[in-house]
Chain A
Amino acid sequence: MADSRLQIEKPERKERGPVWDVFRRLSKRITAMMGLVIVVVFLLSALFAPLLAPHDPYEHSLADKLATPSWDYPLGRDELGRCILSRIIYGARISLLIGLIVISIGIFVGVPIGVVSAYFGGKVDFIVQRFVDTMLAFPGILLALLLIAMLGVGLHNVMIAVGISTIPIYARLARSSVLAIKSRQFVEAARSIGSSHLRIILQHLIPNSLSPIIVQSTLHMATAILWAAGLGFLGLGVSPPTAEWGAMLNGGRLYIRVAYHVATFPGLMIFVTVLGFNLLGDGLRDALDPRLKT
C-alpha cells in the first residue's frame, strides 16, 4: 500500500505453543468457532450414537410410517416407521467413517506421490504430473462414478472410489508446498551434511508442508461427506437398512409430497455438517496461513 515498508513490530506475546496459537487466532472469528462447534457436535454424535439416539434406528413399525414430528419422535418417522432422529444420529457414524477413510486414502497415497515428485523433480516429476493432470481432467464426481461402476455398488466401494479420485488433489497440493520449501536453507543444510532422501523427506519436507494439508483436509471432509451422501442418494452406497444420510434422503424423496420431513431433515444434517467443516476450514486457513488472508 502507501508505504509497505513501514516498520511495525508486533508487541511481545507469551509463547504457548503452536496449537494454542492457532486456537487463539481461530477464536477471534465467530464463524470459525461456529464451525468448530458444529464439527464437535458431529463428532460427539458419531462417537456416542447409542447413548444419544432416543430409539433403535432399525426398529420399524409400518403402522406409524411417515408419522409427523412428535414429542417421542422429534423429527418424525420414515417410510418404514423408523425414528428419523435416531437414524440421523447413527448416520453421523457412516459420514464420519466415509470422510476419514476418503481423506486417509487421499493423504497416504497422494501426499507421498506429490512429495516424491517435487523432491526428485525432472523426469519423475514430469511423468507423475502428466498422470495427475489426466486424473484431474475428469470433471467432478465422474471418476468416482466410473470406479463405482467397475467396482460395484456398496459402501466400501464408494469410499475407495471417492478416495482414489482425491489422490491427485493431495498429490498436487503436497507437490506445490514441497517445491516452495525445497530450496530453503534447512533442506539445503540437511542435504549438505549427507542426510538420506528418505530422512529429508520425512524429517523436513512433510512436517513443513503440513499446514496446507491440514486446511485442505478439513475442507475436504466437507466435500467427501457431500460426495458420499450424493452417491448414497443415487443408491450406489450402503445397502438398505443402514442409516446413511444420502440413502435416507433418497428414501424420503418418493414421499416428498405427503411427508416432507422424511427427506428434509437428513438433508439439513448433511448441509449443517458440511457447513461446519467449511467454516472451520476457512478459519483454519486464515489462522495457519496469514498470507492467504484477505
Chain B
Amino acid sequence: MGILLQVRDLKTYFYTDAGVVKAVDGVSYDLKEGETLGLVGESGCGKSVSALSILRLIANPPGKIVGGEIFFEGKDLLKISEKEIRNIRGNHIAMIFQEPMTSLNPVLTIGLQIGEALELHRNMNKKEAREEILRLLRMVGIPDPERRIGDYPHQFSGGMRQRVMIAMALSCNPKLLIADEPTTAVDVTIQAQLLEVVKELTSRLGTAVMLITHNLGVVARHVNRMAVMYAGRIVEQGPAAEVYAHPQHPYTIGLLASVPRLDKPRKERLVPIDGQPPNLILLPPGCSFMPRCSYRMEICSKERPELRPVGDGHFTACWANMER
C-alpha cells in the first residue's frame, strides 16, 4: 500500500490575548491508503487542530499554521493555492465533525447540503444529484429518503444527523475521511452503530480514515494504527494492538488504566490520571507530561524526549524504559 498522507513537523499556534497557544507543536505521522489511524488524547491536546490543519480550516486570526509540511498524494497542502485546496476539500479529503447538532446548516435542507458537494466536485446536474443523494441516504441507513431529502436538520435526531454528515462526507468518494470525535455527542447506543456504518462504508470504498477520539475503546475496535497526543505533540505511536498490549509512554499507560478493558480481569481498579492538562502557553522546557508522571526522572525536567523506536513500527517519546 502506498503512503497517502505524510504530516511532517506540523506546527499550528493560536495567538490570543493571554499569549501564544502552541496547540500543535511539531507533529509528524503517515497514513497509508485504506488504513485507519486513531488519533487519541484528552480534550485540548491538539488532535482536532492538527486535523483541521490538514484542510487549512484553522480560523486565522487567531490561529495560524506556522510550520511543517503536509504531503497528500505528493503535493504539499500547505503550499498549494486556495483554489487547489478547495478542490481537495470535500472531494479527496472529507471531514465529519463532532457536533451533529451544530455542524449542519439549520436553514438549508439536508438534500441541498449533500448535493452541494456533488454539483461542485462531480459536476452533476440537479437531477443526477438528486438520484445520488437518495442513494447516499439509503447507503448510510436513513429510512424513507424520498420523503426526508427535503427535511431540515432540526427534523432529525442526533444519530440521524450524523448519518447525514457521513453521507455528505462520502459523497465524492474521498481518499481520506477525517472523523473528528464523530460519536462523542450522540447517545452511547447510537455510537457503536455509527462507527459500524463508517467502518463498513470506508472499507467498501477503500477510504483511509483518521479517527480522532478520546475514547480508547473506539480505538481498540476500529483502527489499525494509533497515535497518542499530549500537549500538542505525539507521545506514542504504533500498531493499535501493539500499543494496547504494551504501552510504552506513561501517559498511554495512564489512559489505558483509566478506562475499563475487556482483555483484563474485571477486578482491576480504574485509575484516573492525576493533575490537569498543561497550560499550552507556558509549557515547561522538558517533557510536558512530567508534572503528572509517576515515572519522572531528573532528565525529564531538562530535556524534551523525542520519539524513539521501541518495537516494530512502535515509537515513544519518553526517557523511561518500560517493561515489555
Report if A and B touch in the complex (beta carbons < 8 A). yes
Interface residues of A (CB under 8 A from B): 1-3, 5-11
Enumerate chain A residues within 8 angstroms of B276, measured Cβ to Cβ. 7
- Closest chain A residue, CB of each to CB of B53: A2
User: Which of A2, A8, A10, A11 interacts with B49 by CB under 8 Å?
Assistant: A2
Enumerate chain B residues within 8 angstroms of A10, measured Cβ to Cβ. 18
Known contacts A1-B59, A5-B43; is A11 also within 8 Å of B23 by CB?
no
Provide the B118-133 mask, 1 if CB < 8 A to any CB of A, else 0: 0000000000000000
Residue B254, interface by CB 8 Å: no
- Closest chain A residue, CB of each to CB of B98: A3
Enumerate chain B residues within 8 angstroms of A11, measured Cβ to Cβ. 18-19
- Do A8 and B63 touch across chains, with their CB atoms under 8 A apart? no
26 A–B contacts, CB within 8 A, in A order: A1-B59, A1-B62, A2-B14, A2-B48, A2-B49, A2-B57, A2-B58, A2-B59, A2-B63, A3-B23, A3-B43, A3-B44, A3-B48, A3-B49, A5-B44, A6-B21, A6-B44, A6-B280, A7-B278, A8-B18, A8-B281, A9-B18, A9-B279, A9-B281, A10-B18, A11-B18
Contacts A2-B59, A3-B47, A6-B23 supplied; 14 other A-B pairs, CB < 8 Å = A1-B59, A1-B62, A2-B14, A2-B23, A3-B23, A3-B43, A3-B46, A3-B48, A3-B49, A5-B43, A5-B44, A7-B280, A9-B281, A11-B18
User: B160: shortest Cβ distance to chain A, in Å?
Assistant: 25
Q: Whole-angstrom distance between the alpha carbons of A210 and B47 in the complex?
A: 41
Within 8 A of A (CB), among B161-184: none
Within 8 A of A (CB), among B273-323: 276-281
Interface residues of B (CB under 8 A from A): 14, 16, 18-19, 21, 23, 43-44, 46-49, 52, 57-59, 62-63, 276-281
Q: Whole-angstrom distance between the alpha carbons of A154 and B304 in the complex?
A: 79
User: B73: shortest Cβ distance to chain A, in Å?
Assistant: 25
User: Which of B43, B48, B52, B279 interacts with A8 by CB under 8 Å?
Assistant: B279
- Closest chain B residue, CB of each to CB of A1: B59
- Do B277 and A8 touch across chains, with their CB atoms under 8 A apart? no
Q: Whole-angstrom distance between the alpha carbons of A2 and B19 in the complex?
A: 17
Q: Whole-angstrom distance between the alpha carbons of A7 and B21 in the complex?
A: 9
Enumerate chain A residues within 8 angstroms of B44, measured Cβ to Cβ. 3, 5-7
User: B279: shortest Cβ distance to chain A, in Å?
Assistant: 5
Q: Whole-angstrom distance between the alpha carbons of A1 and B14 in the complex?
A: 11
Q: Whole-angstrom distance between the alpha carbons of A1 and B59 in the complex?
A: 7
Enumerate chain A residues within 8 angstroms of B14, measured Cβ to Cβ. 2, 6
Enumerate chain B residues within 8 angstroms of A3, measured Cβ to Cβ. 23, 43-44, 46-49
Q: Whole-angstrom distance between the alpha carbons of A3 and B24 in the complex?
A: 11
User: B70: shortest Cβ distance to chain A, in Å?
Assistant: 16
Q: Whole-angstrom distance between the alpha carbons of A183 and B77 in the complex?
A: 50
User: A204: shortest Cβ distance to chain B, in Å?
Assistant: 31
Enumerate chain B residues within 8 angstroms of A7, measured Cβ to Cβ. 44, 276-280
- Closest chain B residue, CB of each to CB of A3: B48
User: B52: shortest Cβ distance to chain A, in Å?
Assistant: 5
- Closest chain B residue, CB of each to CB of A9: B279
Enumerate chain A residues within 8 angstroms of B57, measured Cβ to Cβ. 2
10 A-B pairs closest in CB distance: A3-B48, A5-B43, A5-B44, A2-B49, A6-B44, A9-B279, A1-B59, A2-B52, A7-B44, A3-B49
Q: Whole-angstrom distance between the alpha carbons of A223 and B55 in the complex?
A: 48
Q: Whole-angstrom distance between the alpha carbons of A2 and B47 in the complex?
A: 10
Enumerate chain A residues within 8 angstroms of B46, measured Cβ to Cβ. 3
- Closest chain A residue, CB of each to CB of B232: A6
Enumerate chain B residues within 8 angstroms of A9, measured Cβ to Cβ. 18, 279, 281
Enumerate chain B residues within 8 angstroms of A1, measured Cβ to Cβ. 59, 62-63
Enumerate chain B residues within 8 angstroms of A2, measured Cβ to Cβ. 14, 23, 48-49, 52, 57-59, 63
Q: Whole-angstrom distance between the alpha carbons of A1 and B97 in the complex?
A: 12
User: B49: shortest Cβ distance to chain A, in Å?
Assistant: 5
Q: Whole-angstrom distance between the alpha carbons of A3 and B58 in the complex?
A: 10
User: A11: shortest Cβ distance to chain B, in Å?
Assistant: 7
Q: Whole-angstrom distance between the alpha carbons of A1 and B278 in the complex?
A: 20
Q: Whole-angstrom distance between the alpha carbons of A3 and B278 in the complex?
A: 15
Enumerate chain B residues within 8 angstroms of A6, measured Cβ to Cβ. 14, 21, 23, 44, 280
- Closest chain A residue, CB of each to CB of B14: A6
User: B10: shortest Cβ distance to chain A, in Å?
Assistant: 13
Q: Whole-angstrom distance between the alpha carbons of A174 and B10 in the complex?
A: 50
Which of A2, A5, A7 is most buried by chain B, counting CB atoms within 10 A of its CB? A2
User: B89: shortest Cβ distance to chain A, in Å?
Assistant: 15
Q: Whole-angstrom distance between the alpha carbons of A109 and B129 in the complex?
A: 61
Q: Whole-angstrom distance between the alpha carbons of A9 and B280 in the complex?
A: 9
Q: Whole-angstrom distance between the alpha carbons of A6 and B278 in the complex?
A: 10
Q: Whole-angstrom distance between the alpha carbons of A7 and B14 in the complex?
A: 12
User: A83: shortest Cβ distance to chain B, in Å?
Assistant: 49
Enumerate chain B residues within 8 angstroms of A5, measured Cβ to Cβ. 43-44
Q: Whole-angstrom distance between the alpha carbons of A6 and B44 in the complex?
A: 4
- Closest chain A residue, CB of each to CB of B277: A7
Enumerate chain A residues within 8 angstroms of B49, measured Cβ to Cβ. 2-3
Q: Whole-angstrom distance between the alpha carbons of A11 and B80 in the complex?
A: 38
- Do B280 and A8 touch across chains, with their CB atoms under 8 A apart? yes
User: A12: shortest Cβ distance to chain B, in Å?
Assistant: 11
Q: Whole-angstrom distance between the alpha carbons of A9 and B44 in the complex?
A: 13
Q: Whole-angstrom distance between the alpha carbons of A187 and B44 in the complex?
A: 33
Q: Whole-angstrom distance between the alpha carbons of A1 and B60 in the complex?
A: 11
Which of A1, A5, A6, A10 is most buried by chain B, counting CB atoms within 10 A of its CB? A6
Enumerate chain A residues within 8 angstroms of B279, measured Cβ to Cβ. 7-9
